[in-house]
Structure 1
Amino acid sequence: MYDRTRLDEWVALRRDLHAHPELGFEEHRTAGIVAERLAEAGYRVRCGLGQTGVVGSMTRGGGSRSILLRADMDALAMTECKGRSHGSTIDGKMHACGHDGHTVMLLAAAEKIAALDFDGTVHLVFQPAEEGRGGAAAMVADGLLDEFPADAAYGLHNMPDLPLGVIAAVEGPQLASSDSWEAAFRGVGSHGAKPHQGRDAVTAAGVFLGQLPGIVAREVDPLQSAVVSACALSAGDFAALNVIPAEVRVGGTARAYSAAMRDHLEEAIGRQAQGVASSWGIEADYRFIRRIPPVVNDPGPVAVARRAVVKALGGEALQTVFPPSTAGDDFAEFSARVPGAYVWLGMGPSVETGVHHSPRYDFNDACMSAGIEYWCAVVAEELGAK
């Protein structure tokens, strides 16, 4: 396993990043640290892809195969619970999903990978703005895969409540698409005591919200999965509770594991909105905003990932069955273009570290050595490192 002294140094860096969180496209301090460490390890460093993204690339031997390993760097706009010695020093920002740990594990692995005798090219991608701000898409738009072409892409994310140090590598869907929808119901405003003089958009929106769960309950195969949730509602004014407003806005999220289901949810939400509006004699404006595709693991890279886990950590560390998450990750922007494998690294019981996006969450440093060794083993499996 990883050298204890060096591991302590990496843990200290992880806690430093935790104490200095940066939101998506603001990761200037983090990106600077990453670029400096990669350069020190001998990588060709490219900064500025996707605004604050960093890539470290290294080629050895005459092999033509190239692989991409990704870590995300951004924090969340949340306030951390007090009490940790390395807690966030910035109000309203915290590493509540473990991207500080992801960054440092790949940086530490970079040092070890640079000492391997491999045959081919490895691209280490430190991505900004994973938390819903489109960092992966921004890197792709800036030419990431043109400048650093890859035959396979690998991602890793920590997972509370998965046994400590265990890695789950599973074929097929891992994370859902993450899309947004909005519907504006436009009626005719009126006095609250004289609703017959208007066209009530508030009640129409209420009917729509009542019907919305029926999309998944009655239009989706029970053996498949999908989520449609209303998450925002805007109408009227509590200072004028005798006024029926002319417009109500509703918005939410939709999640699916396939392109076909994504298409169906887009159509069904719009159909419900337009149908309700028509029945109430009002208008509805609807739009569906596609944000992140689903993460679907390819069998080839998954097989590589599984061999890497067994060789680096032993067979007991490999888990081949694990349920997909309805959360999203824009690693999908890479794996939709290149065969990919996204694995889960066990953090142990969440009672100790909290769950993702909780104000009491913290990355469990005890899993760091497993993540580092896994990354090195992926390179060894893919590029024949000795």
Structure 2
Amino acid sequence: MSIAEHIPAQIHTWQPELVALRHELHQHPEIGLHETRTAQLVAAKLQAWGYTVTTGIGGTGVVGQLCAGDSRKTLGLRADMDCLPLTEKTGLPYASQTPGLMHACGHDGHIATMLMTARYLAATKLFDGTVNVIFQPGEEGVHGASKMIADGLFDRFPCDMVFGYHNWPHLPDGTIHLQPGPVMASSDRVRLTIQGRGGHASAPERTVDPIVVGAALVNSLQTIVARNVAPLNAAVVTIGSFIAGQAETYNVIPDTATLYLSIRTLDKQVREAVLARIQALAAGIGAAYGANIECENFQISLPVVNAPAPTALAQAVATQLFGPDKTCTDFEPVMASEDFSFMLDRVPGCFALMSGGAKRHYVHTSRYDFDDALIAPMATYFATIVETYLQAPSR
């Protein structure tokens, strides 16, 4: 049986309408923590379908709550709403109408998926308990999940478990990936500012050359993964920028240099060890060369770690809907990051990666576009999770 045979008739019927809504969202992208129009659209849809709607959570976050029956069991379903600061080059008829902004990560599709799920659950109410449909702002590096949590998300809307997904181009067509344990990496940004002493290129002995210090630091940073992280663990230390001096200056040694790093890990302890090692290397190399190196860390996300029980539930549902050959339960984690990690750190849950088309453009690129064919099957997946966990008593 294919996934198409499991999709309820209502979802089939509503697919064109939700695709049109997705295209509308795509035309009007909004950057993280400024999703005013998007949040208003989401809230209006949820209210029309009978949800109790709360807006302004963590800024522009929206939660729609729907209750049925007498059970005190609760579930959370989450979608992200923000776009990226990118100029779209798809040439699509529904391309972004806002210069410099586009939905290059598929959050417009995630919204449409979760709205389809919400509409179906409201129309059928084949569950016993409470569903909290969470629309999160600011996933792209601005801590929208943390802001919602700090604003009382799980205190005001308790969830036994929480579920989400991300479309992921380049995975085999039609496959869904979900496993217990790590599925995506943490993300940290580290800025290393080297304070040396500049001077004339002809008299380097009178200077502390921050470029030489930075070069030594670049080489030493590469030893962290090779010599300080166990071979069976995973970590990435990437130097994205090394900035020093003025362009086309030949005879001036600058006062300062700055390195910008991206750090990825799959384990909290590995993350802490990598960051501590960066600080130790900066202090040691700075002392050795007579420079001062300031180390600043900006945490973007934790590792995305799925809990065993919610993942077992999600895997059973996925296997039922997509088939065992399309449900991947053992795979190498992705070293990209996800703000949903902060929710999983508070509430057990499961985050799935769903193929966005093996030959489609990758996320975070100017020619990317979400695959509308994912909306109906993923809405069916989330609705089935709700109906399975919040199983209504037989009538």
Q: TM-score, normalised by structure 1?
A: 0.96
Q: Structure 1 residue 239: deviation in Å?
A: 5.7
Distance 1:326 1:162 in 2: 14
Check the 8 A contact 1:46/1:54 in 2, yes or no: yes
Check the 8 A contact 2:116/2:376 in 1, yes or no: no
Q: Does 2:26 match 1:18?
A: yes
**Equivalent residue for 2:374?**
367
Distance 2:115 2:239 in 1: 39
1:222 aligned to which of 225, 231, 234 = 231
Distance 2:280 2:120 in 1: 54
Distance 1:211 1:52 in 2: 43
Q: Structure 1 residue 367: deviation in Å?
A: 1.8
Partner-residue secondary structure (3-state), 1:336: helix
Partner-residue secondary structure (3-state), 1:86: coil
The percent identity for this pair of structures is 39
2:75 aligned to which of 46, 63, 67 = 67
Aligned-residue CA RMSD (Å): 1.4
**Equivalent residue for 2:220?**
211
**Equivalent residue for 1:102?**
110
**Equivalent residue for 1:338?**
347
Check the 8 A contact 2:74/2:159 in 1, yes or no: yes
Q: Structure 1 residue 97: deviation in Å?
A: 0.8
Q: Structure 1 residue 265: deviation in Å?
A: 0.8
Mapping of residues 233-248 of structure 1, within 5 Å: 233-238=242-247, 240-248=249-257
Q: Structure 1 residue 287: deviation in Å?
A: 2.2
Mapping of residues 279-358 of structure 1, within 5 Å: 279-349=288-358, 351=359, 353-358=360-365
Q: How many residues align?
A: 384
Check the 8 A contact 2:116/2:375 in 1, yes or no: no
Indicate the larger mover: 81-90 or 255-264: 81-90
**Equivalent residue for 2:87?**
79
Check the 8 A contact 2:142/2:300 in 1, yes or no: no
Check the 8 A contact 2:68/2:125 in 1, yes or no: no
The one-letter code matched in structure 2 to 1:366 is: A
Distance 2:195 2:324 in 1: 60
Say if 1:40 and 1:165 are closer, same or farther in 2 by CA, change over 3 A.
Answer: farther
Distance 2:326 2:368 in 1: 24
Check the 8 A contact 2:177/2:331 in 1, yes or no: yes
Distance 2:371 2:85 in 1: 21
**Equivalent residue for 1:189?**
198
The one-letter code matched in structure 2 to 1:12 is: A
Q: What runs of 5+ residues in structure 1 fail to find an aligned partner?
A: none
Q: TM-score, normalised by structure 2?
A: 0.94
Q: Does 2:286 match 1:277?
A: yes
Distance 1:314 1:377 in 2: 14
Check the 8 A contact 1:226/1:257 in 2, yes or no: yes
Q: Structure 1 residue 117: deviation in Å?
A: 2.6
Distance 2:153 2:309 in 1: 22
Indicate the larger mover: 26-35 or 81-90: 81-90
Q: Structure 1 residue 232: deviation in Å?
A: 2.4
Distance 2:241 2:72 in 1: 50
Q: Structure 1 residue 240: deviation in Å?
A: 4.1
